[in-house]
Structure 1
Amino acid sequence: MSIVIQQRLIPDGSPNKPSKPMTPQWITIHNTDNTSGTAESHARYLLDGSGGRQASWHYTVDDKDIYQHLRDNEQGWHAGDGNGPGNTTSIGIEVCMYTGMNQDVAWNNAAWLVATLILRYKLTFDQVVPHKNWSGKQCPSQILPYWSQFIILIKGQVQQLQNGIRILVNGQEAAQGILKNNVVYGPIRDIATALGLSVGWDNTKKLAYLNNISQPNSIILNGSAYVPVRAIAESIGASVTWNGTERIVSIQHQDKKE
């Protein structure tokens, strides 16, 4: 799976964040305890100053979106331990619980985010903790009774990420790719959507098209067309880079019409 993380960063100097640097050593899981708030509405709440409270965290997750509010390398006020390690060394993630939300999808989205951060910062599963670990509060209220199952979800996502290739378009998550004969292939439809381009398929020639430009070496995987990512980038004049450590392919493309 691959999810676009939408950045709505709290401005530097805002009174609802510490504005202090940190090196992530923990990931702290919360539930919002808000039966009406989506990830997007929590993003607006933080941008509007958290109601005058000293409250801020790094990400909010629901069944549709992930919003980022703080950079990973800056402290938040979310753990309830003052200047303790929860606030000063942990990335805070709030998981929504609004009425009508698909909880399974939201928890899987949260597990994917945690897995991504574990791999990025070389953390262990023991460094993923509930809010209760820092302050004694029964939080995350919905996830806490199923904590071991939630960790299993995270482990599954880590395994998927380790076996797969992340494809970013202009810095945003776009798709999950595969490595075949030392070539990274990606699902052309997902990549086209991220680039804002049209995609087509000639069933006779078994050939994919991006903005009417043919994409040779197309393959079908689980019913979807996959093409070499570098070929996609070069066909539209985009640049592509490979991060072998994190297994990330990045496409940078500036629409010439802009």
Structure 2
Amino acid sequence: MVVTRKKLVPDVQANEVSYGKGNAKKYIVVHETDNTRTGADADAHARLQYNGNSRNASWHYTVDDKEAVQSFEHAWRCWAAGSTTGNNQGIQVEVCVNSDGNYQKAMLNAAELVAKIMKDEGIPISNVVQHNHFSGKNCPSQMRAGKVSRSQFITMIKNASGNTTQQKPSTDTNRYRVLTGTYATKQAAENVLDVLKHRFGWVAYIEPDEAKWRVKTGTFTGMDAVQAGANKIKTAKLAQVTKIVVNNIKDQDS
């Protein structure tokens, strides 16, 4: 049973990267992110959309081996399928292929999510299609290469419970930031900043620290979220030392 949570793109921003609301919800369109870099998980792609995707693209869900994150309600006509019909009538599901994730588990989670969407929206399994169905693009590429074949994925969906677990809101509503240890040069800090902003989809900044430099993230709500962020920085080997600090200003970056 996959854990799902929402990090919905604000409506004003959503209107800039979609055809607006009015999705006919006839299809579920399965994609892969094609982003194999470490840390390019569901949270990273959801944050990328939430913080302002630089590409003219949007999708409803991103799924990895741990969770599914929803960025748009089903009513939105996202830009993902490569055709008018696919965008106006499809619910778009992106599966992560990050090298530090488990692709098989991500596909199982995606199958659980798809089964839930089918149940909620009355979509038949015959209308669960690949991105390729609408545009001819080689997507989802690893599925199409047979790593988990379409027929195997359809079997996963049929065997899925169709239930998901909604992540419970954290009782800790405090906002926190992660500070990295210091870097000897500004360029080294900028290299880390680039990863946090463009691979992880985070808000982040560089700060001077005497003759050195450190990187400060945007805010996370709750200790669990910020601890996961600090662990992600260490796992990606961007910093050996991290520090969690309470954010005393009620700002909105995340």
Which range, TM-score by smaller chain?
A: 0.5 to 0.7
Q: Tell whether 2:155 aligns with 1:152.
A: yes
Residue aligning to 1:130: 130
Query: 1:160-187: per-residue Cα shift (whole Å, max 9, x none)?
Result: 34xxxx587xxx367xxxxxxxxxxxxx
Residue aligning to 2:82: 80
Residue aligning to 1:5: 4
Query: CA RMSD of the aligned region, Å?
Result: 1.9
Task: Select 1:59's aligned residue among 53, 58, 61.
Answer: 61
Shift of 1:9: 0.8
Q: Answer whether contact 1:28 1:128 (CA < 8 A) is retained.
A: yes
Task: Select 1:50's aligned residue among 42, 53, 57.
Answer: 53
Shift of 1:41: 0.6
Paired letter, 1:32: T
**What's the % identity of the aligned pairs?**
38
Query: 1:195/1:67 Cα in 2 relative to 1: closer, same or farther (>3 Å)?
Result: closer
Residue aligning to 1:203: none
Q: Distance in 1 between matches of 2:164 and 2:117?
A: 16
**Structure showing greater Rg:** 1
Tell me which protein shows more strand as a share of its residues.
Answer: 1
Query: What does 1:227-246 align with in structure 2 at a 5 Å threshold?
Result: none
Query: What does 1:90-239 align with in structure 2 at a 5 Å threshold?
Result: 90-144=90-144, 145=146, 146-157=149-160, 160-161=161-162, 172=166
Q: Distance in 1 between matches of 2:167 and 2:95?
A: 20
Residue aligning to 1:17: 18
Q: Which has the higher contact order (CA 8 A, sep 6+)?
A: 2
Q: Answer whether contact 2:112 2:164 (CA < 8 A) is retained.
A: no
Q: Secondary structure at the match of 1:19?
A: strand
Q: Answer whether contact 1:39 1:62 (CA < 8 A) is retained.
A: yes
Residue aligning to 1:233: none
Q: Answer whether contact 1:167 1:173 (CA < 8 A) is retained.
A: no
Contiguous gaps of at least 5 residues in structure 1? 175-193, 197-258
Shift of 1:54: 1.7
Shift of 1:80: 1.0
Q: Answer whether contact 1:13 1:19 (CA < 8 A) is retained.
A: no
Q: Answer whether contact 1:39 1:66 (CA < 8 A) is retained.
A: yes
Q: Distance in 2 between matches of 1:18 and 1:67?
A: 21
TM superposition outliers: structure 1 runs of 4+ over 4 Å = none
Residue aligning to 1:71: 73
Residue aligning to 2:33: 32
Q: Answer whether contact 2:3 2:164 (CA < 8 A) is retained.
A: no
Q: Distance in 2 between matches of 1:34 and 1:66?
A: 16
Q: Answer whether contact 2:3 2:66 (CA < 8 A) is retained.
A: no
Q: Distance in 2 between matches of 1:111 and 1:80?
A: 22
Q: Distance in 1 between matches of 2:28 and 2:121?
A: 10
